[in-house]
Amino acid sequence: MNRELQYWVALNNVDGLGPVHFHQLLQYFDGVEAAWNATVSDLKQLNFREKLIDNFLQTRKSLGLKTRMDQLGKLGVKLITISSQRYPPLLKRIYDPPFVLYVRGEIKKEDELAIAIVGSRKMTRYGLDVTENLVQNLVAHGLTIVSGLAFGVDVASHRAALDAGGRVIAVLASGVDIITPTSNSFLAERILEEKRGAVISEHPLGTTPFRHFFPVRNRIISGLALGTVVIEATEKSGTAHTARAALEQGREVFAVPGSIFSPLSVGTHNLIKQGAKLVNSVEDILEELQLEARSLKLEAREVVPETKEEEIILEILGDDELHIDEIIQKSDLSTSTVTATLTMMEMKGKVKNLGNQVYRIAR
C-alpha cells in the first residue's frame, strides 16, 4: 500500500472524526498527510470540539501505523478512499459517504446494478419464502444483493444470492476482521472463498459493533443500491432506518405486503402507506428502476479487448490503479510489449495514465 493510504487509515482511526469533519480537513489542508499533522491551532480554527481534538492528538501519539498497515496486508484488506476511481459511484452521491472503505473481496463495476434487501431478524416462513424468491429472480437479472449479514432477512438474502450464483456485498457495523454475529461468519467466508462479492466496512480493524453503529451503517447499505426492498418489519423496526436513509438519498423504497394479522407486516404496510412501492413480484422492482435500460448503459461502458495482450492487461488492472512495473510482473509479457500495448490502449481511450506510469481502466 502506498504512503498516502496510511494517512487515510490514520485519520479513520480518530474516534469521532466522521465524514463531515474529514471533508473539513481536506478543504483546509493540502492532502491527508498535512491533515494528519494538523496543529491544535489548526483544529481549533476548524471549530473542532475539545473532545475531538483530544482524540486526534491521542491517536496521533499512540497509533502504531505500520502495525495497522501490516494487519491490513495480512488479511488481504483493500482500501478504497473517496478520492479513488474505484469508489462506488452510487455511494459517493449520498450526503455523508464514508471517506474510507475497508474491503475484503472485490467490488466490481457490475455491482453498480445492486438492490438492498433488508427486513426482520425474526422473519417468518413467509418472509423466508419471499426473500428467496425475490433474490433468486433479481440475481437472474444480473443484480448484486446488498445487505448487512445480520440474522433473519439479511442472512437469507445473502445465502439465496450465493446459491443462485449471484454477487453479494455484506456491509458490517464492525471492522471487517470481526464478523458479528459469529454464527454468520461462514457466509462471509463463503462470499470470499467463492469470489462472489465483498465484505465491507467504514470502520478500522478491531472495531466491535456498538448499537449506534447500526443505523449509521444502514446508510451504506442503501447508498450502494439503486433501491431498497423491505421484507417483514415491525412498527418500530430498525429496518426503518435503512428505508429512511434510502428516501433521504433519493433512492427507491419497495415493501412486501404481508398478513394483516402479523406484527411483522405493520412496518411494511406503513411504508406502503407512506409511498413505498408495493412488491408482488420481481417485475415490480425491475419496472420501477428501469433496470433493463440501466444494464444496457452499464454494458456500453465496458472496455472490450481487441488483442490477447489487451485482454491480459485489462484482467490485471481490474478496478485497480497499477504501476507499469507491477503490470509487467503480473503479465509475464515483455517490457516492450506492455509499454507498446498500454500506449495503444491509451490512444484508444481504454486505459488512462494517472501520472508516473500508473494506469487504470478508463470508464
Burial class (CB in 10 A: 0-12, 13-18, 19+), 185: middle
The listed CATH number (3.40.50.450, 3.40.50.300, 3.40.50.2300, 2.40.40.20) that belongs to domain 105-297: 3.40.50.450
Q: Is the pLDDT of residue 331 over 60?
A: yes
Which residues in 326-342 are b (16+ Cβ under 10 Å) and which e? bbbeebebeeeebeebb
Same fold: 105-297 with 308-361:
no
CATH class for the region spanning 308-361: mainly alpha
Tens digits of residue pLDDT in 212-247:
888 899 999 999 999 999 999 998 887 888 998 998
Domain ranges of the chain: 3-75, 105-297, 308-361
End-to-end CA distance of the chain: 23
Element (H, E) at 204: none
Tens digits of residue pLDDT in 22-40:
989 988 998 899 999 999 9
Name the packing angle between helices 335-347 and 324-331 (round to 10°): 120
Q: How far apart are CA 13 and CA 67, in angstroms?
A: 13
State pTM to two decimals.
0.80
Q: Is the pLDDT of residue 303 over 60?
A: yes
Phi first, then psi: what are they for 198, rounded to 5°?
-155, 155
